[in-house]
Amino acid sequence: MLKIAVLVSGGGTNLQAIIDAVETGTISNTKIEVVISNNKNAHALERARQKGIEALCISPKDYESRAEFNKEFLEKLNTYEVDLVVLAGFLVVIPEEMIAKYRNRIINIHPSLIPSFCGTGYYGLKVHEAALARGVKLTGATVHFVDEGTDTGPIILQKAVAVEPEDTPEILQRRVMEQAEWKILPEAINLIANGKVSVENGHVKIGG
Ligand code: GRF
């Protein structure tokens, strides 16, 4: 049984996709141990509580320094002894000591086809604004392992989504969520839960 922690900051639609996929069996062999947010008002926390999943807020604002937050955050996470940490719209920088401890056991969903429109400053609507400004005809989403960089870890899954002529950033964001994010994040978790994902020389192999 793969034990997972899901880290969130906002509405939690990706968390909901994971919860629903576990319930329907699209994700097998997996248990959501805890949902953690840096934002006490994140609707994602309410989504977890509605399903009886432990949900808590640990915010950098409640600590004297970022270093103190990082220490407390990692110590709290470690108490759950999870196998996989899923970043589902988590807007806090992951501490380097956490990346080291959970090497290739932290995954993130990014709303573009990495290496396009990613890295520092590319999050939320900003990603879709950049895609529309560039005039790309295809965008999409990427699930990747988290390393010390920003959106630079080994890519696990990607799914392309068409950009339509009348798209606004909001319309495009919603389509990327519906057609890509909510599908490939659960799929990636299911693959990991069933031993189908490995990392060799910085590249992900799926299958076997
Ligand atoms: C999604 O657009 C995701 O791609 C990005 O943050 C957003 C989270 O949305 N990482 P939600 O909280 O899952 O609804």
Tell me the per-residue pLDDT of 8-30, one tens digit each, with 9 for 90 and over.
999 999 999 999 999 999 999 99
Residue 89 beta carbon below 6 angstroms from any ligand 1 atom: yes
CB atoms within 10 A of CB 202: 10
Distance 56 CA to ligand 1 centre (A): 18
- What digits encode the pLDDT tens for the residues 62-97? 999 999 999 999 999 999 999 999 999 999 999 999
User: What percent of the chain lies above the pLDDT cut of 90?
Assistant: 100
Q: Which of 96, 99, 114, 103 is nearest to 199 (CA)?
A: 103
Q: Residue 81: what pLDDT? A: 98
Has this prediction a pTM greater than 0.85?
Answer: yes
Which atom of ligand 1 is least distant from the CA of 173? 2
Which atom of ligand 1 is least distant from the CA of 9? 12
- What digits encode the pLDDT tens for the residues 175-203? 999 999 999 999 999 999 999 999 999 99
pLDDT score of 208 more than 80: no
Return the residue whose CA atom lies nearest to atom 3 of ligand 1: 89
Yes or no: say if 123 and 91 are a contact pair by the CB < 8 Å rule: yes
Active site residue 43: no
Q: What is the average per-residue pLDDT within 134-142? A: 98
Distance 208 CA to ligand 1 centre (A): 30
Which residues, listed in sequence order, are joined to residue 32 by a DSSP beta bridge?
4
User: What percent of the chain lies above the pLDDT cut of 70?
Assistant: 100
pLDDT score of 159 more than 90: yes
Residue 10 beta carbon below 6 angstroms from any ligand 1 atom: yes
Confidence class for position 124, pLDDT limits 50, 70, 90: very high
Distance 13 CA to ligand 1 centre (A): 7
pLDDT score of 120 more than 90: yes
Task: Write the Ramachandran bin of 109: left for phi over 0, alpha for psi from -120 to 50, otherwise beta.
Answer: beta
